[in-house]
Amino acid sequence: MTWWLSAIVLFGLLTGLFLLGLAAAFAFFGINIVGAWVYLGKEAGLIQLIRNGIVSITSFSLTPIPFFILMGEVLFHTGVAMKAIDAIDRLIWRVPGRLSVVAVVAGTVFSAISGSTIATTALLGSLLLPQMLARGYHPNMAMGPIMAIGGVDMLIPPSALTVLLGSLAGISISQLLIAGIVPGALLSVMFIAWIVLRAKMNPALAPAFAHEDLPLWDRWRPLIVYVLPLVLIFVVVVLAMTAGWATPTEAAAIGAVATVVVSWIYRALTWSNLMKALLGTAAISGIILFIIIGATTFAQILTFSGATNGMVEAIKQGGFAPWPVLIAMMAVLLLLGCFIDQVSMMLICLPFFMPLVALYGFDPVWFGVLFLMCMQLGLLTPPFGMLLFTMKSVAPREIEMRQVWHAVTPYVVMGVVALAAVMLFPPLATWLPKLMFK
C-alpha cells in the first residue's frame, strides 16, 4: 500500500468511528486493532499493542497530570476557590463591565493554581454567571469572558495538558510550562481591554451598579487571607521546577499536598469534600490517560504504515519555505480543534509535526506554545469546543447554544491575533524560560 493510501484508510476509519459517537479512546483502540493486525504482525501485533498501551502511561513524566488537576479540584470542592474569587471581587470597582473584568482576573489567578480548564470554567460559570445576568449584563458580556479565560488556563502553569504535550512531543516540560505564562498574561490583558472598551461604548451591555463602600482594610483583607497563600503555592511550584529543586512531578505533588494543607488551615477541608476532589481528579485524569493508552500505538502504526515518513518526505521534496509549513500546521490544528478533543489532537498531529519541527529547525518550546495556543482556541471554537458545552451546562436553561457561540466569537478573534503575535515575535514565548533556565 502506498503511504497516502494507508494514511487515508487509517484517518478515514478513525473519523468514521468518531462520527459514530464511539468514545475517543475506543475509536483509537479500534483503529489500533486493525492497524496492529495489518502492520505489526497479527496476534503478536495485538499483544504488542496492549503492552505498548500500558507502558506508555507507566511514565514519571505523566504523573504531574493528576497532581495538577488535584490542586484545582481541592480548591473547588472545599469552596476555597470561591472565597478567593470573592476577595478579587472586592478589589475591583469603578471599572466599566466590572463583573466581566472580575471573571477574567479571578480566572487568571485560579488558572495559576488549577490544572484543569473545565474546572475553571465550571467554577466561574456557576458562581459569576447568575450574578451577572441578575445585574442585567448582556449574556455575551457575561459568558464570553468566562469561557475565554477558561481556555487561557491551559497556558498558565500548572497545566495538565502542557505536561502531556511536553511528554508526548519530547519538549522540556518545565520550560514549556514557564513559556506559557507570558502569552497567557497577554491574552488576559487583551480580554480586559476589550471588556472595558465594549462597556464604555455601550454601557447597557453591563449596567453599572452601586458597590458597597468598604473601609480600606475590609477591601484588602480577604485578598491577603485567601488569595496570597494560593499565589504563594503557585510561586513555590514554579520555583521548585525552575531552580532544579524538584522535577515537575515532585513540584506538582508538593503543590497538591500544599493546597490540601491550606484548605485544612482555612477549616474548609472535610473528609467528604476531600474524597470528592480525589474522585474528580481520578475521573479527569482517567479520561485523559485512557485516550493515551489507546492512541500511543496509533503513532507507531502510522510510522510502520509509512504514512508518517511519506508525508514528511513529500513536504521535504516539495521544498516549501518554513513559514507556509508552520502556518499550515497551525491551520490543521485550528481546524481539528473545532471537532475533536485536545488529547486526540496531540496524538494525531505530533507524529507528523515533530519531524517537521526538527527538519525546519523551529525552536521546540516556541512551537509547543503555538501548539498550546491552537488547542486553547480549539476549546472555544464551535461546533464542538469543550468549554462551550461546559458553559451551556452551567448556564440558565433559556440560553441557547447559538448564543454561547456568539458570546465567544470576539475572544476567538483575539486568540488568533495573540497566536499571530507569538508567531511573529517568538521571544513572547521563549524569553521567560530562557531567562529562568540559564
- Nearest distance, CB of residue 360 and other proteins, angstroms: 32
The yes or no reply on residue 250 touching other proteins (CB under 8 A) is yes
Q: What is the 3-state secondary structure (H, E, C) of the chain?
A: CCHHHHHHHHHHHHHHHHHCCCCHHHHHHHHHHHHHHHHCCHHHHHHHHHHHHHHHHCCCCCCHHHHHHHHHHHHHHHCHHHHHHHHHHHHCCCCCCHHHHHHHHHHHHHHCCCCCHHHHHHHHHHHHHHHHHHCCCCHHHHHHHHHHHHHHCCCCCCCHHHHHHHHHHCCCHHHHHHHCHHHHHHHHHHHHHHHHHHHHHCHHHCCCCCCCCCCHHHHHHHHHHHHHHHHHHHHHHHHHHHCCCCCHHHHHHHHHHHHHHHHHHCCCCCHHHHHHHHHHHHHHHHHHHHHHHHHHHHHHHHHHCCHHHHHHHHHHHHCCCHHHHHHHHHHHHHHHHCCCCHHHHHHHHHHHHHHHHHHHCCCHHHHHHHHHHHHHHHCCCCCCCHHHHHHHHHCCCCCCHHHHHHHHHHHHHHHHHHHHHHHHCCHHHHHHHHHHCC
9, 46, 236, 350: which one binds other proteins (CB under 8 A)? 46
If the CB atoms of residues 281 and 308 are measured against other proteins, the closer one turns out to be 281
- CA 208, 214, 216, 217 dihedral sign is negative
The yes or no reply on residue 317 touching other proteins (CB under 8 A) is no
The yes or no reply on residue 22 touching other proteins (CB under 8 A) is yes
- Nearest distance, CB of residue 176 and other proteins, angstroms: 20
The yes or no reply on residue 291 touching other proteins (CB under 8 A) is yes
If the CB atoms of residues 253 and 302 are measured against other proteins, the closer one turns out to be 253
The yes or no reply on residue 282 touching other proteins (CB under 8 A) is yes
DSSP string covering 94-119: S-TTHHHHHHHHHHHHHHTT---HHH
- Nearest distance, CB of residue 150 and other proteins, angstroms: 16
The yes or no reply on residue 337 touching other proteins (CB under 8 A) is no
Under rule CB under 8 A, which residues in 23-42 are in contact with other proteins?
A: 23-26, 29-30, 33
The yes or no reply on residue 283 touching other proteins (CB under 8 A) is yes
The yes or no reply on residue 147 touching other proteins (CB under 8 A) is no
The yes or no reply on residue 238 touching other proteins (CB under 8 A) is no
Question: Environment class of residue 60 by beta-carbon count within 10 Å: exposed (0-12), middle (13-18) or buried (19+)?
Answer: exposed
- Nearest distance, CB of residue 27 and other proteins, angstroms: 8
Per residue in 127-151, is it b (16+ CB within 10 Å) or e — as a string? bbbeebbeeebbbbbbbbbbbbbbb
104, 227, 246, 391: which one binds other proteins (CB under 8 A)? 246
- Nearest distance, CB of residue 246 and other proteins, angstroms: 6
The yes or no reply on residue 164 touching other proteins (CB under 8 A) is no
The yes or no reply on residue 18 touching other proteins (CB under 8 A) is yes
Contact 183, 428 (CB under 8 A): yes
The yes or no reply on residue 235 touching other proteins (CB under 8 A) is no
The yes or no reply on residue 293 touching other proteins (CB under 8 A) is yes
Under rule CB under 8 A, which residues in 47-86 are in contact with other proteins?
A: 47, 49-51, 54-55, 57-60, 62-63, 66-67, 70
Whole-number Å distance between alpha carbons of 165 and 244:
20
* Piece of the chain touching other proteins by CB under 8 A; list 14-22, 140-148, 159-167, 321-329: 14-22
The yes or no reply on residue 429 touching other proteins (CB under 8 A) is no
The yes or no reply on residue 254 touching other proteins (CB under 8 A) is yes
If the CB atoms of residues 111 and 281 are measured against other proteins, the closer one turns out to be 281
The yes or no reply on residue 232 touching other proteins (CB under 8 A) is no
If the CB atoms of residues 186 and 340 are measured against other proteins, the closer one turns out to be 340
If the CB atoms of residues 21 and 319 are measured against other proteins, the closer one turns out to be 21
The yes or no reply on residue 211 touching other proteins (CB under 8 A) is no
- Nearest distance, CB of residue 139 and other proteins, angstroms: 21
- Nearest distance, CB of residue 58 and other proteins, angstroms: 5
Contact 378, 185 (CB under 8 A): no
The yes or no reply on residue 289 touching other proteins (CB under 8 A) is yes
* Piece of the chain touching other proteins by CB under 8 A; list 156-164, 310-318, 340-348, 366-374: 340-348
- Nearest distance, CB of residue 29 and other proteins, angstroms: 5
- Site of interaction with other proteins (CB under 8 A): 17-26, 29-30, 33, 43, 46-47, 49-51, 54-55, 57-60, 62-63, 66-67, 70, 245-246, 249-250, 253-254, 256-257, 274-275, 278-279, 281-283, 285-287, 289-291, 293, 339-341, 343-344, 383-384
